[in-house]
Chain A
Amino acid sequence: MTGITQMLTDPLMQRALLVALLVGLAAPVIGTYLVQRKLSLLGDGIGHVALTGVALGWLVGAALDVVPNDALAVPGAVVAAVAGAVVIEVVRERTRGGGDVALALLFYGGIAGGVLLIGIAGGTSANLVGYLFGSISTVSTSDVVLTVALCALLLGVGLGLRPALFAVSHDAEFARSTGLPVRALNIAIAVVAALTVTVAMRVVGLLLVSALMIVPVAVAQLVSRSFASTMHLAMGLGTAVCVVGLAVTYWVPLAPGATIVVLAIAVYLVVLAARPLFARR
C-alpha cells in the first residue's frame, strides 16, 4: 500500500500516469473509426511518416541552435503526421480504396527518411529510439499540457462528431447522397488519427501507437452489441491497460510501452477464451 502511495506522490510518475490515462482514453476513440473502415493499420503508416517529422524537427532545431536540440521533434512529428495522413486519404479517395503500393512507398520512405535526416542533423539512430518505443518516464510539465490539450481535441471531435463520423465510415456512398461533407469528414478522421499518433508516441512509441488505438477496440468487439458500447468499452479498456501497465513498470524494470501493449493483447486473449461464457443464446 505504501508502495502505491509512494508511486502516486512521485511527481515524475504523476505526470506519466496522467499522460497514460489521457492517451489510453483518447486513442481507442479514433481506433474505433479505423476498425470500422477496415483501416486498422493506418496508424502504423502514420507513425512511420511521423518519424521523418521527428528527425526533421531535430534538423531544424539543430540549424536554429534550439536548446534542447529535440525541442522541435514533437511539433515536427505533428506536422509530418498530419500531412502524411491527408496524403494517404487523398490517395485512398483517388484510387477508390486502393493505392496499396503508393501507401507502402510512403511508409517505407517515412522510416528511411527519419533515419537519414537524424544523421544529417548530427544525431544517431539511437536518438530515435525514444520516439520508436516511447519515453513516458521522461515526460515534462509542458508535455503534460500538450497532451491534455490534444486529448481534449481528440475526444471533442471523436465523440462530438460521432454520428457523422459513424455515417461516413459505415457507408460513405449513402453519406454523400444525404449531402454530408464526406471529404471533409474523411480528412477530419485522418487528421485526428495523425494527432492521436503523435500524442500516443510519448507513451508507447511510434511502432506501437497503432496497438493502443486498435487492440482495445478489438477486445470490445468481442463482447459489444452496438457501436456506442464498443467505443465506450474500448475507452475504458485503453485507460485501464495504460495505467496498470505503467504502474507495473514502477516496480518491475520493464519497458512501459511494450508492457502496456502486451497487457492489452493478454486481455484480448483472455476475453476471447472466456467469450463462450458470456455468449447470449
Chain B
Amino acid sequence: MNVLEVRDLRVDLGAHTVLHDVDLTVRAGEAVAVLGANGSGKSTLVRAVTGLIPVHSGTIELFGTPLGPNAPMHRVGYVPQRVSATSGVVATAVEVVQSGLLGKGRLRPGRDATRKAVEALESVGLGAAAHRPVTELSGGQQQRVLIARALVREPELLVLDEPVAGVDLPSQEAFARTLTRLVRAGTTVVVVLHELGDLAALVQRAVVLRGGHVAHDGAPPPAHRHHAAPGHVHVHPHDDVTAQDVGAPALELEP
C-alpha cells in the first residue's frame, strides 16, 4: 500500500492556481525530497497533503484513506515551515512537544506524556533543554523542538517543510543524523527543501516542482559540474530559468 497517493491535484489560493496536474506516489520507507524555486508550489503541496489547505480538484490519499475526517492523521507527523516555537506566553520545550501527543479524539496526552516528550527531545539532541523555555533557545534549536513535536507521534510518515532553512550548522547536522536514523528504521519521509545539502546522501528520490506542476520525479538531480561537491546543489530562486529537459532539471547555481 502506498503511504501517500496524490492524483491530478489542483490547488487554488485566491484567484491563483498554485498547483495543477500534480501526481505523486510515495511508497512505504521512501525518503523523497520536494525541490523547487520559491513560489513553485512545494510548500503548498505538503500543506495540501496534511489537510491544511483546501483542494480544488483531484484526490489525496494517506495510507489508502482519502484526506478528510477519517484520514489517519495519527500516523503522520508534520513539521511546519519555521515560524517560531514561541507564542504569547512562555512555554517549555516539553510543553510544546506534548502537543504532538494529541489528535482526533485525543484532547489530553497520556500519563507518560512528559517522559515521551523528553525522549523525543533527546532524539534531536535537546534533552538538556527539555525544561527550558523555548524563548531561550536559538532558532535552530526551536526548529528541532518542532521536529521533536512531530517525532513524539511516532509517525510512519514524516512531512517536513523546509526544516533546515536558516538553521545553524549544529542544528543542521543534528537534523541530518535524526533523519538518517528514522529512514533506516523505516519511516517514510517527505521533505521540502530549497537545496539538498547535507541530505543528498539520504534522499532516494527528488520531485522537482516548477510553476505548480511536477517537472522531474526520479533520481535526485546532480549538482552543477563546477559545484559537484555535496551540499552545493542549489535551485535557482527565480522563475526565469529555462528547463533543459525533464531528465536534467534546471538547477542553476548562483556564482
Which A residues lie at the B interface, using CB under 8 A? 32, 35-38, 160-161, 163-164, 166-167, 169-171, 173-181, 217, 221, 224-228, 230
Contacts and interface: CB of A to CB of B under 8 A. Distances in A.
Nearest to A231: B89
B107 A173 contact: no
5 contacts: A163-B101, A178-B78, A178-B102, A179-B71, A227-B95
A35 B89 CA distance: 6
A171 B89 contact: no
Contacts of A227: 89-92, 95
A238 to B, nearest CB: 15
A222 B181 CA distance: 40
A178 B133 contact: no
B102 A177 contact: no
A221 B90 contact: yes
B43 to A, nearest CB: 12
A169 B51 contact: no
Nearest to B98: A163
B178 to A, nearest CB: 18
A174 B99 contact: yes
Question: Does more than half of chain A's interface fall in helix, strand or loop, or is it mixed?
Answer: helix
Contacts of B76: 177
Contacts of B92: 225-227
The interface centre, meaning the residue of A36, A174, A226 with most chain B CB atoms within 10 A of its CB, is A174
B80 interface: yes
B50 A177 contact: yes
B236 interface: no
Interface string B149-166: 100010000000000000
B73 A179 contact: yes
Given A163-B113, A174-B100, A176-B51, 19 more contacts: A35-B89, A38-B88, A161-B107, A163-B101, A163-B107, A163-B108, A164-B102, A166-B95, A170-B87, A171-B80, A171-B83, A178-B103, A178-B153, A179-B103, A180-B106, A225-B133, A227-B89, A227-B95, A230-B90
A180 B89 CA distance: 21
A160 B99 CA distance: 15
Nearest to A180: B102
A177 B108 CA distance: 16
Interface pairs A-B: 3 shortest CB-CB:
A179-B104, A179-B73, A167-B99
B53 to A, nearest CB: 10
Nearest to B113: A163
A170 B87 CA distance: 6
A204 B78 CA distance: 44
A161 B102 CA distance: 11
A74 B95 CA distance: 37
B90 A225 contact: yes
The interface centre, meaning the residue of B99, B104, B131, B149 with most chain A CB atoms within 10 A of its CB, is B99
A98 to B, nearest CB: 14
B91 A177 contact: no
A181 B105 CA distance: 8
Given A163-B98, A166-B99, A174-B149, A180 B104 contact: yes
A230 B101 CA distance: 22
B15 interface: no
Contact of A170 (B51, B52, B91, B109): B91
B109 A224 contact: no
Contact of B91 (A38, A174, A226): A226
B20 interface: no
Contacts of B232: none
B134 to A, nearest CB: 10
B96 interface: yes
Contacts of B51: 176-177
A221 B102 contact: no
Given A170-B96, A177-B76, A227-B95, A221 B103 contact: no
A163 B96 CA distance: 10
Interface in B97-137: 98-104, 106-109, 113, 131-133
Nearest to B71: A179
A225 B90 CA distance: 6
B122 to A, nearest CB: 19
B74 interface: yes
A7 B107 CA distance: 44
